[in-house]
Amino acid sequence: MVQKSPIVEVVKKISPAIVSITISKDLPKIRKYYIQPFDDFLGPYGQPIPQYRREGSQKVKIGGGSGFFVSPEGIILTNRHVIVSPNVDYTITTTDEKEYQAEILARDPINDVAIIKVKKAKGRKFPTLELGDSSKAELGEDVIAIGNALGAFRNTVSTGVVSGLSRFITAHDGFSGQAASLRGLIQTDAAINLGNSGGALIDAWGRLIGINTAIVSRSGGSIGIGFAIPANMALNIARNLINSGGVPRGMLGLFPTNLDRDMADAFGLETTKGALVNQVQQDSPAARAGIQHGDIIIQVDDIEIESAQQLRLRVSQMLPGSEVMVTLIRRGKTMQLPVKLGSLNGVAENTPAMQDSVYAMRLSRVDQDVRKRFSIPDGIAGVLVEEVAADSPFAGKLEQLTVILEVNGQSVDSPAAVEAQLKPGMNRLYIWAGGQKGFIVMRL
């Protein structure tokens, strides 16, 4: 008897929980026909002229991806960038080739997580994946990626190892071209191709440890650098989206930056690990706790902080209102300060659209209240960027808490003024961020 690889048995176990997602939309059906031109005296002449007529509509596939069941009732976890719009049709195909229509429950654009649910399953109970602990993933650990490669090859299996942990990237959606900043990702060399987005990353025992979500590639195909959202993070987001319609995110209320070697030397530090506090917002949790600009945060509770990105990620994963112990270095001395976290107010996309929204950005007029809350100097007048959704064309261009001073050479003082000055094509924005003024350009 030929002995088979253990991977074969793992794949058999997990495959029934994996689904392919097809996105389609009703589009006009156009029929092409020809008419023959006539001359009143000479009769027919010249070439037939093409004409077009709409004859009903037809369902056209416009995209797709992968997902997996997280409950027997048909709830499916996938990527937000797979679930592109509530105004299209989603068809789920299971490994036994049965098809079901699905509806959107919630989407979180910040972390690229979406939840959909089978509409009518006639009492069927769906198989689910065994959950692993993504916080225990280690470099070199064997992993399996499985999904709907290229939207055509269902249950495509690839294997590899964990190549990196806690990665931070800016991912561009291949469907819309928009960008999102993703944090704390698992890196793997298991092949992830277009259509694999939303599929499962599995450990050698068949346990879920991640959602395949992005690749680095010049061609669009896998070159062995792929990324997955850790399962612990994704499932926590999913629970919050289902239970409360939002994702509670902790907030310190400060602007951190990374330390380079020169900066570390200037502060008398032996390493570049930690997050340097550039600015503290007035009346923020950090300000009330006594954190100051120039402090280097090196630990939050028992979690060591190596970078500004890690600090943002760790704090955003904590519950607003919880008290944490922040360990920092101030003028060469290590000290600890208790901080009661505020809230970033992360809201799911199944809630009403944000007020004063322009191109999926939440904007606010810089009045005295906003100026005080966000420590904006008196000489800065414009419109504050409070939030940039992951599917905004400005994601990756405009940071949160940037002030837009001018759009295409015109001063702006309200969200409506920003919207009025933006135009198709190239736009020029004059902004204030981190105490500095400068220009960015953006093509719409």
Domain chopping of the chain, boundaries: 17-118, 130-244, 250-343, 352-443
Q: Examine the residue annotation and report whether 414 is marked as an active-site residue of this protein.
A: no
**388 Cβ partners below 8 Å, 6+ apart?**
360, 361, 394, 395, 398, 399, 400
Angstrom distance (rounded) from CA 9 to CA 3: 11
Active-site entry in 163, 181, 197, 316: 197
Per-residue pLDDT of the chain (444 residues; tens, 9 = 90+): 566 677 788 888 888 888 888 887 777 677 776 776 666 665 566 677 777 677 666 677 767 788 888 888 888 888 887 887 767 788 888 888 888 888 888 777 667 788 888 887 777 888 888 888 888 888 888 888 888 776 667 778 887 888 888 777 665 554 444 445 667 788 888 877 777 787 888 888 888 888 888 777 665 666 778 888 888 888 877 777 776 656 667 788 888 888 888 888 888 888 888 888 887 877 788 888 898 888 889 888 888 888 887 788 778 777 778 888 999 988 888 999 998 888 765 444 443 333 345 776 778 888 887 887 777 888 888 998 887 765 567 877 888 788 999 998 889 988 888 888 888 778 888 999 877 888 888 877
| Residue-level pLDDT at 204 | 84
Question: What is the predicted pLDDT for the residue at 180?
Answer: 55
CATH code given to domain 17-118? 2.40.10.10
3 state DSSP class of 184: strand
Average pLDDT of the chain, as a whole number? 78
Classify residue 55 by burial, with Cβ atoms within 10 Å: 0-12, 13-18, 19+.
exposed
pLDDT for the residue 254 = 83
Q: Is 172 a catalytic residue?
A: no
Gap between the Cα atoms of 27 and 59, Å rounded: 6
**Number of residues assigned to the chain:** 444
What's domain 250-343's superfamily in CATH? PDZ domain (2.30.42.10)
List the catalytic residue out of 20, 66, 108, 112: 112
Express each pLDDT in 391-433 by its tens digit. 567 877 888 788 999 998 889 988 888 888 888 778 888 999 8
Catalytic: 197?
yes
Q: What pTM was estimated for this model as a whole?
A: 0.57
Q: What per-residue confidence (pLDDT) applies to 419?
A: 82
Pairing verdict, β 179-188 and 153-172: antiparallel
Pick the CATH number of 352-443 from 3.40.640.10, 3.40.50.300, 3.30.9.10, 2.30.42.10: 2.30.42.10
CATH fold match for the domains 130-244 and 352-443:
no
CATH architecture of 130-244: Beta Barrel (2.40)
Single out the catalytic residue among 20, 66, 81, 173: 81
Residue 126 CB partners (closer than 8 Å, separation 6+):
17, 69, 71, 72, 73, 74, 94, 118
